[in-house]
Amino acid sequence: MLKKCLIFFAIILFSGKSAAYDFGTAMGIATLNIPAGADIAAMGNADASAWSWSSNNPAMTAFSKPSIDWKYGGSGTYGIVDFSKGSRISFYSVTGAVKTAIGVFKTTASYFDSNEEMTKIGAESKFAPSKSLDLTWANKITDDLLLKGDELYVGGGTSISNTQINFSYNHKRIIRSISNGNSAMAGFLYKPGEGINIGGFYGLYWDRSRETNYLLENSAHDSSTTDQIKIGASLQVLPLTFLACDYQFLNLPTFRKGQVFAGIEQGIVKDIFYLYSGWAASGPTCGAGLYFTHGGFNIAYMQNPFSEANDYLGRARVLMAMVYGSF
């Protein structure tokens, strides 16, 4: 009788365009909106035009603040995504960058894992060890393009990833979903004048997945593509106050969605200590940064940034810490 109930549960939950299909879409949006680092996470993940060491805009790789000149750089990030009705995900990333005569190259390796927790959809979920590798290139293309003293940066990148999600009932695995993803990205950053940035990037993501149902003893293969466009502007309104706002458009397999990201950087001690706050799609963010001549340390907190997953995993809280250095 128990097995029959579990089979019925699996059919309802994981067949056709049912809850599992929607769950996959929700997690896809969440994955796209995971910040590249704690510095930009604290500022509402408004990374289209706001300068930060970590950004999903590949053009930002080549841009640095005028007071900072570096040839080699690196960073390490640790973060926790804690769903109130689901798994607690831990993730780590390591980044290295180098300036060359043809531009700046940057690579990031990331690792994700989680515990097993009961979800709101009646099954236990676990994000098995997952990995991704990103490579970006960017360069300053020209000065005085439209205005005297303006600057234009462009960049591109690609990534590969492997993820696995397991669903269980009473700690007995009933569903395993394995996904292999790739992406291609292109971005720009235009500085018409001092303290003014306009930026944006486009990302194309394609995914091939295999879902195994151990109760029904079958498996299914699927593929999908997602387009992301994010544009934004940022402005130094006061010597120690910097504002940024982005609009993101997602074209997903099932629907289209627009979201807003915004943030503020407020200096407390110039070039040394800054506070941050913002809004990332569906929830507030905050954090702080401590900076030195050749690096810095950032912490960030995000509340409910992945509202699409609320019906399945509950509200998420994100904690991130990052240290970086450049020489």
pTM of the predicted model as reported, rounded to 2 decimal places: 0.88
Looking at the domain covering 2-326, what would its CATH class be? mainly beta
Measured CA angle at 224 (ends 220, 227), to 5 deg: 165
Domain residue spans of the chain: 2-326
The pLDDT of residue 171: 75
Give the pLDDT band of residue 205 (cuts 50, 70, 90).
very high
Residues of the chain with pLDDT > 70, as a percent, come to: 91
Cβ-based neighbour number of residue 120 at 10 Å: 15
Residues of the chain with pLDDT > 90, as a percent, come to: 51
Residue 110 has pLDDT above 90, yes or no: yes
Q: What is the pLDDT of residues 177-202, one digit of tens each?
A: 888 889 999 999 999 998 899 999 99
Residue 30 has pLDDT above 70, yes or no: yes
Give the pLDDT band of residue 3 (cuts 50, 70, 90).
very low
Residue 14 has pLDDT above 60, yes or no: no
The pLDDT of residue 168: 83
Asked if 292 contacts 323 with a C-beta cutoff of 8 angstroms, the reply is no
The pLDDT of residue 213: 82
Give the pLDDT band of residue 159 (cuts 50, 70, 90).
very high
Higher pLDDT, residue 43 or 215: 43
Q: Is the dihedral of CA 284, 127, 22, 118 positive or negative?
A: negative
Average pLDDT score over residue span 159-183 = 85
Closest CA to 159 of 185, 179, 138: 185
The pLDDT of residue 151: 93
The pLDDT of residue 65: 58
The pLDDT of residue 135: 95
The pLDDT of residue 64: 65
* Half-sphere CA count of 48, side-chain side, radius 13 A: 26
Three-state SS at 3:
helix
CA–CA dist 8, 23 (Å, integer): 18
Closest CA to 246 of 97, 35, 85, 72: 35
Q: What is the pLDDT of residues 288-306, one digit of tens each?
A: 999 988 889 999 999 999 9
Residue 22 has pLDDT above 80, yes or no: no
Residue 215 has pLDDT above 60, yes or no: yes
Cβ-based neighbour number of residue 39 at 10 Å: 31
CA–CA dist 14, 29 (Å, integer): 19
The pLDDT of residue 127: 79
Higher pLDDT, residue 83 or 1: 83
- pLDDT averaged over the chain? 86
CA–CA dist 208, 249 (Å, integer): 22
Q: Name residues whose C-beta falls within 8 Å of residue 167's C-beta, 6 or more positions apart in sequence.
A: 14, 123, 124, 125, 173, 174, 175, 176, 177
Higher pLDDT, residue 119 or 224: 224
The pLDDT of residue 68: 61
What b/e readout covers 71-90, taking b as 16+ CB neighbours within 10 angstroms? eebbbebebebbbebbbbbb
CA–CA dist 70, 309 (Å, integer): 40
Q: What is the pLDDT of residues 243-297, one digit of tens each?
A: 999 999 998 877 788 999 999 999 999 999 999 999 999 999 999 999 988 889 9
Q: What is the pLDDT of residues 51-105, one digit of tens each?
A: 888 899 999 988 765 446 788 999 999 999 998 888 888 999 999 999 999 999 9
* Half-sphere CA count of 33, side-chain side, radius 13 A: 34
Q: What is the largest CA-CA distance in the chain?
A: 77
The pLDDT of residue 273: 97
Give the pLDDT band of residue 241 (cuts 50, 70, 90).
very high
